Amino acid sequence: MKKALLAIGLSSALLFAGCADDEGQDVQEDQTNDNNDVTEVDENELKSSLLDTQMNLISELRVLNQTILEYDALLNGEEEPEEEALIAAAEEAKTAAEEALSKLESFEVSGTYTEEVQSSLEDSLEDLKTYFQERINALDESQTEPDFTAAQEAFDSFQEKFGSIFEEAGLLVPDMAKELS
């Protein structure tokens, strides 16, 4: 009888231990599924935040950059522009670049980002600030024959950095030159 009770006791202990282990696995699987859901939400929030930042930049800078591009079109047009018209357009372009630079100085990158993405966005925006500053510098040197090489290099760097952030997030890379024109 003692042997039977001992066998039943050991069997019960093994049964309870086995069930408890299964419950632990179920809990662990549930937690893993919950973590995957959180990751997906964070990824979606990241994408949404990036798109919001892009749209905010476009809405803040498009009109100003269009003024700059109108000057470029006049400067590089087939017909030789009158010097007075070119100088007036250069002044408007410089004012637009100064205003764009001012808007970028106060532009806040807001949204749900990792520290790395936040830092990358801020770094890319520094290149965009440099673009507008180089535009101003070139127009200060010459309104009729400005050299925008440094400005273009800064914009290309901005485009590359900004685009890589979108690409890493699984979004299409925006063509910011097109978006800002």
- For 65, the domain range is 48-179
Q: Tell me what pLDDT residue 40 has.
A: 42
From residue 14, how far is each of 2, 4, 46, 160 by CA, in Å? 18, 15, 48, 62
Considering the domain boundaries, does residue 124 fall inside one? yes
Residues of the chain with pLDDT under 70: 1-41
Question: Which pLDDT tens digit goes with each residue over 36-45?
Answer: 443 443 888 8
Contact 140, 112 (CB under 8 A): no
Indicate the number of domains in the chain: 1
In this structure, are residues 50 and 120 in contact, taking their beta carbons and an 8 Å threshold? no
SS3 state of residue 148: coil
User: Quick check: is 116 in a domain?
Assistant: yes
10 located within any domain: no
Residue 145: what residue type? E
| Residue 5 in domain | no
Supply 149's token pair: 């090489």
